[in-house]
Amino acid sequence: MTRPNRATRLDVASVVAHGSLRTVTTLYAAAAKAVIDGVVIVTDLETIRRVPPNTVVVLSAHMGSGGWQVSAALRHAWERRASAVIIPYSTYAESVISLAERLDINLMAAEQDPSTVALALAAEIGAVKSVAEVDLAQFARAVTRESTVSNVLKTISYRLGTLRVTLEHDGTVLAAAGGADRDGVPVHVDLPAIENWVRVKLVALVPKIRGYGPDEVRTFLEVAAPSVQAAWMAGEINDMAASAPTLALAELSHAVMGDAGTIDQVYPNLLATLGWHANQSYVAVWISHPRHQPHRVGRTAIVRLLWRKVWARRPLAEVLGGWLSVIPVSDEEGPGWIEIRIREKIGSSLAELGFSAGTSRRQSGIDDLPAMVQEARVAAEYGIRVAPGAVTSFGQLGVGAVLACTDDAAVTLVAGLTLPELLSAPDRDQIIRDTLAFLDNQSSMTLAAKSLKLHRNTLQQRMNRVRDVGIHLDDPAQLLPIHIILTVLKRGLRVPDTD
């Protein structure tokens, strides 16, 4: 849309310079720019106490005849944030000008009859307001044409001189457009309320020295708010539909509790039918919310809106315990770039919401898709424990990650990542039993040997193997995670718990 050149609001300086107030004498010109929304002729002080902000107060000849009344009128006008006070020409005194200077309010003297001045100004205000109405209608049409939240915000920002416009929920910026200037007076308008829906507001930062006043900006935001809402809801519907394959994958991996081969046996060619390709590499991203956080209607819409900044073409699917996206990646892209992108785009927002993101290791083909989903989930849940807003890569986890795991499958995944030598060792089962006995007996070799019905020296000899498979029992921080991992692994042993 074309940015209009004409001012949609009068200000005192321009009206005095070349408008209807060019005949008045300026006794004091306020430092701050004062806009004009209306004009009123007052015949008593009480009337001034009721004038709306940005009003030019014209004192009647009768009122202006008392010096103290001019002082009191200035005070009342200042309290009401009036644009200016116009007094009859003959009545001002130095003290009145001093007070105007002190209050920093425009003070002018008119030789003409006050009603003549007021009528001329009223006519000029009316003309400008009609221009403003037309301009507002054009703006409304422009925002209505936009179909995404981002574009609606850009349209608002552009129309208001590229000032920063954001869509916010509880202080979290969901989408933004416009300048990077963070200083200014915030003006906000709530999006139209939907029952039980989260409260989201449209915010503009109005610089103090720029052309638009807060009230004017608020008007534009109010006009644009329904379009923002509509674009957001349309995007939400699209994301919901586009996330169906991801949702299906999550549900299938959860229902079948197996790998892709198992899924393929139960539902032949289903993954391929849903759009997953055997010759493509993927990374799963899981966003977790704290377990204690109550579910709120609209929370998914907020996370999806944020996610559009990261990967608009792979929207999040709402799954049990969080949100999931599986992103196709090419081999040219280096490791860690997805995590960096998530941190840059939404890291601070995730922290404000108390959420964390986790990523799986990159995998080729569709065989490991269910495992990727679990890896991403484990990484995200570990991130929640570390710090809200963390973006954690599963590949970077250590054995300590099991402390965040809530089920055996997750612990097994972490074990596969951190103790591969143990899992592939031919004497794995014996190492697991021996080490568990040692840990169960508070690191007492004697008691462990007794529980295993072994000689102490025999167990001592066997424990030398533990370090070979990557278990470091001399690190106190690893004792609990190792204990958990081995306890879970022991449940899967086929051989009875005896030597």
Partner 1 sequence: MRTLTSIDVGHFSTGANFLACHIDPAAVFAYEDMIQRALPTGDVRLLSVGELDPEDLVVALGFVTQGLAIADMPPVGDEFIGCIREIEKKLGRKVSALYSLAAGNINGILPLMAGLQTALPIVDSDPMGRVLPLISQTTLSLGGVDISPIAVMGVTGERATLDVKDPHRAETLVRSLVIELGGWAATAMYPCTAKQLREHGIHGTMTRMIKIGEILDAEEAVERKYVQLVDLLNATRVARARVRHMESFSRERELGLPTQTTSLTLVDEVTGHIIRLEIENEILLVLVDGAVAAAVPDIVTLLSAEFGRVVNLDDVRVGHLLDVVVTPAAPIWYTDAGLNLAGPPAFGLPLQHPRRHD
C-beta of 84: minimal distance to partner 1 in Å?
15
- C-alpha distances out from residue 184 to 78, 204, 210, Å: 22, 9, 10
User: Of the candidates 93, 185, 193, 403, which one interacts with partner 1 according to CB under 8 A?
Assistant: 93
Question: Within its chain, how far is the Cα of 20 from the centroid?
Answer: 47
CA distance 339 to 359: 7
Angle (nearest 5°) at CA 353 between 352 and 357: 100
Residue 434 CA neighbour count, 13 Å, CB half: 23
Assess 90 for contact with partner 1 (CB under 8 A): no
Where does this chain touch partner 1 (CB under 8 A) — which range of 91-99, 164-172, 254-262, 380-388?
Answer: 91-99
CA distance 309 to 90: 63
Where does this chain touch partner 1 (CB under 8 A) — which range of 9-17, 19-27, 94-102, 253-261?
Answer: 94-102
Assess 106 for contact with partner 1 (CB under 8 A): no
User: Of the candidates 13, 29, 40, 103, which one interacts with partner 1 according to CB under 8 A?
Assistant: 103
Compare residues 86 and 302 and give the one whose CB is closer to partner 1: 86
Compare residues 66 and 398 and give the one whose CB is closer to partner 1: 66
Q: Under rule CB under 8 A, which residues in 58-87 are in contact with partner 1?
A: 65-69, 71-76, 78-79
Considering CB under 8 A, how many residues would be counted as binding partner 1?
A: 23
Compare residues 96 and 316 and give the one whose CB is closer to partner 1: 96
C-beta of 86: minimal distance to partner 1 in Å?
16
User: Of the candidates 16, 84, 99, 153, which one interacts with partner 1 according to CB under 8 A?
Assistant: 99
SS3 state of residue 496: coil
Compare residues 76 and 154 and give the one whose CB is closer to partner 1: 76
DSSP secondary structure string, 316-332? PEEETTEEEEEEEE-TT
User: Of the candidates 23, 98, 443, 460, which one interacts with partner 1 according to CB under 8 A?
Assistant: 98
Assess 102 for contact with partner 1 (CB under 8 A): yes
C-beta of 70: minimal distance to partner 1 in Å?
9
Residue type at 420? P
User: What is the chain's alpha carbon radius of gyration, rounded to the nearest angstrom?
Assistant: 35
Q: Read off the tokens for 125.
A: 């205000």
- x-or-dash pattern for partner 1, window 363-392, by CB under 8 A? ------------------------------
CA distance 109 to 112: 9
C-beta of 163: minimal distance to partner 1 in Å?
34
For residue 162, give every residue at least 6 positions away whose Cβ sits within 8 Å of its Cβ, in sequence order, or none.
Answer: 178, 179
Compare residues 58 and 217 and give the one whose CB is closer to partner 1: 58
C-beta of 27: minimal distance to partner 1 in Å?
15
Compare residues 54 and 69 and give the one whose CB is closer to partner 1: 69
C-beta of 40: minimal distance to partner 1 in Å?
17
Q: Give me the numbers of helices (H) and strands (E) for the chain, helices first please.
A: 19, 17
C-beta of 83: minimal distance to partner 1 in Å?
17
> Is 39 in contact with 56 (CB distance < 8 Å)?
yes
> Is 488 in contact with 408 (CB distance < 8 Å)?
yes
C-beta of 34: minimal distance to partner 1 in Å?
17
User: Of the candidates 3, 94, 241, 330, which one interacts with partner 1 according to CB under 8 A?
Assistant: 94
Compare residues 36 and 74 and give the one whose CB is closer to partner 1: 74
C-beta of 78: minimal distance to partner 1 in Å?
7
> Is 460 in contact with 453 (CB distance < 8 Å)?
no
C-beta of 36: minimal distance to partner 1 in Å?
21
C-beta of 101: minimal distance to partner 1 in Å?
9
Q: Read off the tokens for 295.
A: 């579910």
Compare residues 55 and 246 and give the one whose CB is closer to partner 1: 55
C-beta of 115: minimal distance to partner 1 in Å?
20
DSSP secondary structure string, 122-168? HHHHHHHHHHHHHHHHHHHHHHHH--SHHHHHHHHHHHTTS--EEEE
H-helix or E-strand spanning residue 201: strand 201-206
Q: Under rule CB under 8 A, which residues in 19-48 are in contact with partner 1?
A: 44-46
CA distance 361 to 422: 20
Compare residues 74 and 249 and give the one whose CB is closer to partner 1: 74
User: Phi and psi (nearest 5°) for 338?
Assistant: -65, -45
Beta bridge partners of 17: none
CA distance 454 to 241: 61
Compare residues 107 and 411 and give the one whose CB is closer to partner 1: 107
User: Phi and psi (nearest 5°) for 206?
Assistant: -95, 110
Q: Which of 399, 409, 413, 379 is nearest to 469 (CA)?
A: 399
Compare residues 99 and 469 and give the one whose CB is closer to partner 1: 99
Binding site for partner 1 (CB under 8 A): 44-46, 65-69, 71-76, 78-79, 93-95, 98-99, 102-103
